[in-house]
């Protein structure tokens, strides 16, 4: 065993011992509701494909047309040779949809969050963040060199106190939060956060990866839902748009600054034009077919009502979003419950630390517009039966 392997192997053994070891499952075919996973047919209840567009043939057709025109890769960064007319058209269409002056495409949501925070913040600045923010926001804030201050989840008073301290010190502050929290499914109090930043002269950045396409009268996300406008809006195309990549929306000045200074954008190969073409088709569908969101919201309501009728331990905070966690606390119990559901034909991933805080292991159930009533009712029955089995084995 090499010196490096001898250093790493005990860590892996420890993860296995504590039920924190992670494995990948291989999907054969399209990533939709009906899936074949590791050779087993199942119904998928753990993806972020909230509108069911990831396997929509219209997106695939748009991508194939772009493949014929532009090939498979962009061949360079956007500032060198990689910026295609498909990228430009998608940025313009997203900006129009979101009602913001400009949009900038990134290779991923992670690259967007890290790139933005490192570009906009530095030593002497303050970033104030919810403790349950996505890991990319945490890493971006830490990498920026700013004074990173975490507040308790959804603690508006904690934000207020931190912002007031920063204002007294004369330091620039940015408040950063998820719009929809990815593991709990609850929604940030954006009106209160926007009011705080106005009162203190701070900036507001929202990660709306799980809100875009879901919330708001037209699917523009949590900002539309609450009628507020953050200084920086980040979202992704790998959830409701069924594609891949990140985006940042904001003012002309903000986007031009990021073009000059966001290292994860400047030094990354631009996404394939075919992905941008598929995202444009997804955006067209979202704008022209509001019934997709209607079906999603109806499915969320059916799941929540059915879970309560069966006495299942769902969160009281996540009733308005497709993310419905079932908290089981113990890591090993979450794994056993996930395996039990897979035996019954339902794929729901077990989420354990460090993705969630210690002692809050869970199943993260996600709903899609593509699910039907029978599939949702079947999952609810299987979940109730599986919990009963686990309780009998470990009363």
What pLDDT is stored for residue 161 in this prediction?
95
- Nearest-Å Rg of the Cα atoms of the chain is 22
Quote the DSSP letter at residue 7.
H
**Contact criterion met (CB below 8 Å) for 248 and 116:** yes
Going from the N-terminus, what domains does the chain have, and what CATH number goes with each?
24-55+290-393 (3.90.1150.10), 57-288 (3.40.640.10)
- 215 Cβ neighbours under 8 A, 6+ residues apart: 179, 180, 187, 221, 222, 224, 225, 320, 321
**C-beta atoms surrounding 243 within 10 Å:** 26
Tokens read off for 28: 């054969």
What pLDDT is stored for residue 169 in this prediction?
85
At 252, is the secondary structure helix, strand, or coil? Answer: helix
**pLDDT single digits (tens) 233-252:** 999 999 999 999 999 999 99
239 a catalytic residue:
yes
Angle in degrees, CA 42, 45, 46, rounded to 5: 115
What is the rounded distance in angstroms from the CA atom of residue 280 to the CA atom of residue 285? Answer: 9
Residue 210: name the closest of 118, 323, 344 by CA. Answer: 323
**pLDDT single digits (tens) 312-367:** 988 776 568 999 999 999 999 999 999 999 999 999 999 999 999 999 999 999 99
Which position has the token pair 């993806």? 47
φ/ψ of residue 289, rounded to 5: -130, 70
pLDDT confidence of 88, banded at 50, 70, 90? very high
* pLDDT higher than 70, residue 395: no
Q: Could you give the percent of the chain with pLDDT greater than 90?
A: 92
What pLDDT is stored for residue 391 in this prediction?
80
210 a catalytic residue:
yes
What pLDDT is stored for residue 390 in this prediction?
84
User: Omega into 34 within 30° of 0, i.e. cis?
Assistant: no
**pLDDT single digits (tens) 135-145:** 999 999 999 99
What pLDDT is stored for residue 157 in this prediction?
97
Query: Which of 47, 107, 118, 210 does the annotation list as catalytic?
Result: 210
End-to-end CA distance of the chain: 43
* pLDDT higher than 80, residue 187: yes
Tokens read off for 198: 């106005």
Residue 281: name the closest of 319, 325, 237, 312 by CA. Answer: 237
Between strands 232-236 and 203-207, the pairing is parallel
pLDDT confidence of 182, banded at 50, 70, 90? very high
Angle in degrees, CA 49, 378, 22, rounded to 5: 55
**pLDDT single digits (tens) 255-296:** 999 999 999 999 999 999 999 999 999 999 999 999 999 999
Query: Which of 239, 338, 368, 386 does the annotation list as catalytic?
Result: 239
**pLDDT single digits (tens) 110-126:** 999 999 999 999 999 99
Q: What string of DSSP letters covers 178-238? A: ESB-TTT--B--HHHHHHHHHHHT-EEEEE-TTTTTTSSTTS--HHHHHT---SEEEEESS
Tokens read off for 255: 């986007």
User: Which residues are bridge partners to 313 per DSSP?
Assistant: none
φ/ψ of residue 298, rounded to 5: -65, -40
Annotated binding-site residues for pyridoxal 5'-phosphate read 182, 210, 236
Q: Could you give the percent of the chain with pLDDT greater than 70?
A: 98
φ/ψ of residue 189, rounded to 5: -80, 75
What pLDDT is stored for residue 30 in this prediction?
87
What is the rounded distance in angstroms from the CA atom of residue 85 to the CA atom of residue 53? Answer: 23
Annotated binding-site residues for substrate read 22, 134, 355
User: Which residues are bridge partners to 327 per DSSP?
Assistant: 362
Alpha helix stretches (DSSP H) within 262-372: 263-266, 273-288, 291-309, 331-343
Tokens read off for 155: 């603690």
Tokens read off for 55: 């396997």
At 129, is the secondary structure helix, strand, or coil? Answer: strand
**Contact criterion met (CB below 8 Å) for 249 and 233:** yes
Query: Which of 74, 182, 222, 240 does the annotation list as catalytic?
Result: 182
What pLDDT is stored for residue 57 in this prediction?
97
**Contact criterion met (CB below 8 Å) for 208 and 21:** no
* pTM (global) more than 0.75: yes
Task: Look over the chain and give the mean of its residue pLDDT values, rounded to a whole number.
Answer: 95
φ/ψ of residue 8, rounded to 5: -85, -35
**pLDDT single digits (tens) 155-170:** 999 999 999 998 878 8
């Amino acid at each position: 065993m090499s010196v490096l392997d001898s250093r790493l192997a005990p860590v892996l053994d420890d993860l296995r011992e504590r039920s924190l070891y992670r494995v990948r499952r291989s999907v054969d075919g399209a990533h939709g509701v009906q899936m074949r996973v590791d050779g087993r047919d199942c119904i998928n209840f753990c993806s972020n494909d909230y509108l069911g567009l990831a396997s929509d043939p219209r997106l695939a057709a748009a991508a194939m047309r772009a493949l014929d025109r532009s090939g498979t890769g962009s061949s360079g960064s956007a500032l060198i040779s990689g910026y295609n007319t498909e990228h430009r058209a998608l940025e313009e269409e997203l900006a129009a949809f979101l009602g913001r002056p400009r949009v900038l495409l990134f290779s991923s949501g992670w690259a967007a969050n890290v790139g933005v925070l490192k570009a906009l913040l530095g030593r002497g600045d303050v970033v104030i963040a919810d403790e349950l923010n996505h890991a990319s926001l945490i890493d971006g804030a830490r990498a920026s060199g700013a004074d990173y201050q975490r507040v308790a989840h959804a603690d508006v008073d904690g934000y207020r106190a931190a912002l007031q301290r920063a204002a007294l010190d004369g330091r620039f502050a940015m408040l950063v939060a998820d719009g929809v929290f990815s593991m709990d499914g609850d929604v940030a109090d954006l009106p209160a956060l926007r009011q705080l930043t106005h009162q203190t002269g701070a900036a507001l950045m929202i990660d709306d990866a799980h809100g875009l396409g879901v919330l708001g009268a037209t699917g523009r996300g949590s900002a539309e839902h609450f009628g507020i406008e953050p200084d920086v809006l980040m979202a992704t195309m790998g959830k409701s748009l069924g594609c891949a990549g990140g985006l940042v929306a904001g003012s002309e000045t903000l986007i031009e600054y990021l073009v000059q200074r966001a290292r994860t954008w400047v030094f990354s190969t631009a996404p394939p034009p075919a992905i941008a073409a598929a995202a444009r088709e997804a955006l067209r569908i979202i704008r022209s077919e509001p019934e997709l969101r209607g079906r999603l919201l109806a499915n969320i309501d059916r799941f929540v009502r059915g879970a309560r009728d069966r006495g299942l331990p769902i969160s009281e905070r996540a009733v308005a979003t497709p993310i419905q966690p079932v908290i089981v606390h113990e890591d090993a119990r979450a794994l056993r419950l996930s395996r039990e559901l897979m035996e019954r034909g339902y794929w729901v991933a077990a989420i354990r630390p460090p993705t969630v805080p210690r002692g809050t292991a869970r199943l993260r159930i996600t709903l899609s517009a593509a699910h039907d009533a029978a599939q949702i009712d079947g999952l609810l029955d299987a979940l109730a039966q599986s919990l009963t089995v686990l309780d009998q084995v470990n009363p």
